[in-house]
């Protein structure tokens, strides 16, 4: 679900809809469309194709070496490369398909999701990566801080001060998932509002520009202390669903931290039912 840059569990959200590859769309309730702009690792189709070619050459070179002499390196190259080729071929097939599937609604860090933000005097929805890379940071920032898919409420004026009060967004979600320990085993729990309501999950987002001018839009979900039922289930953080009547004020924030915190505190407070995820 969500956490500080130092938390490790990989969460996900269930989204009501995905957007296609259009650069921007207004938020229209009931609109639908599926666009596979990312894989689990966040790679694009072009990046996956380049990596596939690299791994295919790795396998071919390993097989050629094994035909001459048995070595551990060549054996490992063939084994690892073959596994990666299969994974990449599956990833490319998934990126290229047009038909939506139920699993498309669940996002993980590195996936792209539709995020509502404020632009040119009104709300728009743009596809953004679910792991925030703040503007001005180097590319290795993603590896140095792999937990930047979540932004802790108690660190918004610290680690996240460059985005807090400036670039706010929301993701529309029906559920979230968390890793908890049950009987010594890692278990994934699904949390959903008991009343079936959809949640406007508070986020921060950033526009990062690379050396070649390429733009990366990315976001982090804000988290806070959990309500009692989430804590009792074994997790110590929870997303913040803001109220619909506060949406515009959240997306277009004033330069007053107290007013912004008031929106986060005046959140929706559904009772979260949970079950083990399939």
Looking at per-residue pLDDT, the higher value among 277 and 1 belongs to 277
pLDDT in tens, 170-199: 999 999 999 998 888 999 999 999 999 999
Q: Residue 7 domain-assigned?
A: no
Instruction: Compute the distance between CA of residue 60 and CA of residue 159 in angstroms, rounded to an integer.
Output: 46
Q: Residue 122 domain-assigned?
A: yes
Q: What beta strand segments (E) does 10-80 contain?
A: 12-15
Instruction: Compute the distance between CA of residue 119 and CA of residue 98 in angstroms, rounded to an integer.
Output: 29
For 187, half-sphere exposure in the C-beta direction (CA atoms, 13 angstrom radius) is 16
Same domain, 154 and 213: yes
Same domain, 251 and 176: yes
Structural domain tally of the chain?
Answer: 2
Instruction: Compute the distance between CA of residue 242 and CA of residue 112 in angstroms, rounded to an integer.
Output: 21
Which three-class secondary structure state does DSSP give residue 6? coil
Instruction: Compute the distance between CA of residue 77 and CA of residue 266 in angstroms, rounded to an integer.
Output: 55
Read off the tokens for 240.
């913040």
pLDDT at position 13, please?
54
Same domain, 57 and 195: no
What's the whole-number mean pLDDT along residues 83-90? 94
Range of the domain at 134: 12-36+101-276
Same domain, 159 and 217: yes
Same domain, 159 and 72: no
pLDDT in tens, 34-54: 223 333 344 567 888 999 999
């Amino acid at each position: 679900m969500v956490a500080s840059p130092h938390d490790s569990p990989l969460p996900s959200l269930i989204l009501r809809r995905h957007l296609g590859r259009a650069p921007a769309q207004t938020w229209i309730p009931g609109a639908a469309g599926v666009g596979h702009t990312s894989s689990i690792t966040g790679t694009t189709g072009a990046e996956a194709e380049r990596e596939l070619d690299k791994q295919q050459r790795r396998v071919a070179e390993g097989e050629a070496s094994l035909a001459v002499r048995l070595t551990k390196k060549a054996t490992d190259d063939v084994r690892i490369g073959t596994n990666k080729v299969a994974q990449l071929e599956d990833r490319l097939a998934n990126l290229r398909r047009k038909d939506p599937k139920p699993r498309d609604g669940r996002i993980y860090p590195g996936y792209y999701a539709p995020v509502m933000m404020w632009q040119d005097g009104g709300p728009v929805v743009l596809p953004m990566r679910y792991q925030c890379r703040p503007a001005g940071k180097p590319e290795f920032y993603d590896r140095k801080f792999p937990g930047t898919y979540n932004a802790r409420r108690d660190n918004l004026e610290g680690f996240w001060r460059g985005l807090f009060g400036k670039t706010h967004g929301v993701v529309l979600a029906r559920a979230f998932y968390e890793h908890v320990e049950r009987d010594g085993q890692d278990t994934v729990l699904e949390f959903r509002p008991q009343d079936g309501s959809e949640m406007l999950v508070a986020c921060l987002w950033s526009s990062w520009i690379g050396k070649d001018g390429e733009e990366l839009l990315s976001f982090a979900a804000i988290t806070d202390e959990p309500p009692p039922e989430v804590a009792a289930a074994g997790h110590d953080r929870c997303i913040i669903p803001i109220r619909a009547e506060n949406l515009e004020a959240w997306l277009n924030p004033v330069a007053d931290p107290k007013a912004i915190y008031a929106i986060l505190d005046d959140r929706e407070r559904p009772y979260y039912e949970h079950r083990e995820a399939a």
